[in-house]
Amino acid sequence: MSILVVSVSHKTTSFEVLGRLAMDADASAKLAESLTRSEHIDEAVVLSTCNRTEVYAEVGRFHAGLDEITEQLAEATGVATTVLRGICSVYFDEGAVAHTFNVSGGLDSMVIGENQILGQVRAALSGSQQVGTVGTVLNSLFQQGIRVGKRVQTETAIGSAGRSMVTAALRQYQSLAGSLDGVRVAVVGAGSMASLAARTVAAEGADVTAVNRTFDRAVRLADAIGGHARPLADLPAVLAGSDLVISCTGARDLVLTSGLIADTPLRAVIDLALPADAEPAIAEVVPLINLDRLLRAGDDSVSTAEVDAARELVRLEVHDFLARRRASQVTPTVVALRSMAAEVTESELRRLDGRLPDLDDRQRAEIAKTVRRVVDKLLHQPTVRVQEFAANQGQVDYAAALRELFALDPQTVAAVMSPDAATQAAEVADAAASTELITGSE
């Protein structure tokens, strides 16, 4: 089985199309469930943010898996399959691992190093875990991706700077209108992006009013930052007393129109929603800072050296992950070999019992212990070395070589990979790497 990622992002299409592809948590979980009902896909995670909509899957066949993903994504979003095929990026196996880690580390984001993506990746994994569309392959991939993202945030300059779409948008606002201190800011929405925006401007000294369709959520956000709360029905009145509005809702329809903001004291409108909350015509009334504008402005706030350092960290993590995965792929064969050796040993000991019936229990036990120790010693180094070779020299199928050398039954190896044998496999694999099998301490 292999990992396949189908990605549509700000790098491959417009935000108008991304808005049509955007999915909330429920829609993402529904698509993941539908994908795993396919005969070609065993696991699936859907990640949808303001920068991307991506499907991560464990597939049995590349082309069949790719066709299934694009067809179901088209059906779920209404974007034609032919359009999707022209705007998606496809990553397979090792490339999929590298892409996952770059996304989690914020290196594939519009704002390089932005830290909000890590929470979005974690939420996507959690959602798929809840509906049962994640197994060992994608769980391992995403858990490691989250760890890589944390390392980028804590160990690199681009991660520790606390960068986000919100900070990028506010930098543009401040270049137009100056300090946020004392500015009356209306924050529309109460999700993670809106909460981040409210906390950020409040910390800069702004007077914040949280506006949300669910009033209780607006109250909770306002209480957390020492601001005010108003229901969405009061939005016109709130705008009439605001200098800046930041909108990031999950609405499918426009929240802000040029007519709504006309004759207000607003100095700018920031729209970080996908699909967009603000009508493009607003730009004719006041400055409109939206995702398109942020993309056109580019991101020159980090140096090439800082980005390169983060990418090197990710590259090393990808190498280590792939090495561990290659080593684990030979484990079932190692376990099958040791199981076969154990069966041969026990058979010979039973044969010895018949040929030497006069041995007492102590003698039999000592002989059995010696025979088993000899087998362990003979197998230890080859099995440890084959796992090392598999980890570091991925072009050779060492598992196949081991099966051929020892005439292992493929069905026996396959049985080791079954869930019922997982515990035994882990125990034998650990034993294979144990120095105690060599020293044989009494």
Task: Verify that 347 and 416 share a domain, yes or no.
Answer: yes
Task: Verify that 210 and 126 share a domain, yes or no.
Answer: no
Condensed to tens digits (0 to 9), the pLDDT of residues 192-237 reads 999 999 999 999 999 999 999 999 999 999 999 999 999 999 999 9
Tokens 């598992």, located at residue? 399
Query: What average pLDDT does the segment 362-385 reach?
Result: 86
Of the candidates 50, 79, 198, 201, the residue annotated as catalytic is: 50
| pLDDT above 90 (res 376) | no
Q: What is the predicted pLDDT for the residue at 418?
A: 53
- In sign, the C-alpha dihedral spanning 97, 136, 321, 335 is negative
Is 366 a member of any domain?
yes
Centre a 10 Å sphere on the Cβ of residue 350 and count the other Cβ atoms it contains.
Answer: 9
Task: Verify that 17 and 46 share a domain, yes or no.
Answer: yes
Task: Verify that 201 and 74 share a domain, yes or no.
Answer: no
Condensed to tens digits (0 to 9), the pLDDT of residues 233-287 reads 999 999 999 999 999 998 999 999 999 999 999 999 999 999 999 999 999 999 9
**Residue with more model confidence, 387 or 42:** 42
pTM to 2 decimals? 0.78
Task: Verify that 319 and 284 share a domain, yes or no.
Answer: no
Q: What is the predicted pLDDT for the residue at 430?
A: 46
Residue after which a domain boundary falls, among 256, 291, 326: 291
Task: Verify that 249 and 361 share a domain, yes or no.
Answer: no
Condensed to tens digits (0 to 9), the pLDDT of residues 88-133 reads 999 999 999 999 999 999 999 999 999 899 999 999 999 999 999 9
Residue 48 is part of a domain; what is its CATH number? 3.30.460.30
Q: What is the predicted pLDDT for the residue at 134?
A: 97
Task: Verify that 10 and 94 share a domain, yes or no.
Answer: yes
Is 50 catalytic? The answer is yes
Q: How confident is the model at residue 427 (pLDDT cuts 50, 70, 90)?
A: very low
Q: How confident is the model at residue 410 (pLDDT cuts 50, 70, 90)?
A: low
Task: Verify that 253 and 327 share a domain, yes or no.
Answer: no
Condensed to tens digits (0 to 9), the pLDDT of residues 282-330 reads 999 999 999 999 999 887 778 889 999 999 999 999 988 988 887 776 7
What is the 3-state secondary structure of the chain? CEEEEEEEECCCCCHHHHHHHCCCHHHHHHHHHHHHCCCCEEEEEEEECCCEEEEEEEECCHHHHHHHHHHHHHHHHCCCHHHHHHHCEEEECHHHHHHHHHHHCCCCCCCCCCCHHHHHHHHHHHHHHHHCCCCHHHHHHHHHHHHHHHHHHHHCHHHHCCCCHHHHHHHHHHHHHCCCCCCEEEEECCCHHHHHHHHHHHHCCCEEEEEECCHHHHHHHHHHHCCEEEEHHHHHHHHHCCCEEEECCCCCCCCECHHHHCCCCCCEEEECCCCCCECHHHHHCCCEEEHHHHHHHCCCCCCHHHHHHHHHHHHHHHHHHHHHHHHHHHHHHHHHHHHHHHHHHHHHHHHHHHHCCCCCHHHHHHHHHHHHHHHHHHHHHHHHHHHHHHHHCCCCCHHHHHHHHCCCCHHHHHHHCCHHHHHHHHHHHHHHCCCHHHHCCC
Task: Verify that 154 and 201 share a domain, yes or no.
Answer: no
Task: Verify that 151 and 202 share a domain, yes or no.
Answer: no
Is 191 a member of any domain?
yes
Pairing outcome for strands 207-212 and 268-271: unpaired
> CA nearest 311: which of 137, 146, 157?
157
Domain count, the chain: 3
Query: What average pLDDT does the segment 172-177 reach?
Result: 94
Task: Verify that 6 and 143 share a domain, yes or no.
Answer: yes
Is 167 a member of any domain?
no
Q: With pLDDT > 70 as the criterion, what percentage of the chain qualifies?
A: 89
Residue 246 is part of a domain; what is its CATH number? 3.40.50.720
Q: What is the predicted pLDDT for the residue at 272?
A: 96
- Tell me the residue range of the domain where 220 lies: 180-291
Task: Verify that 20 and 52 share a domain, yes or no.
Answer: yes
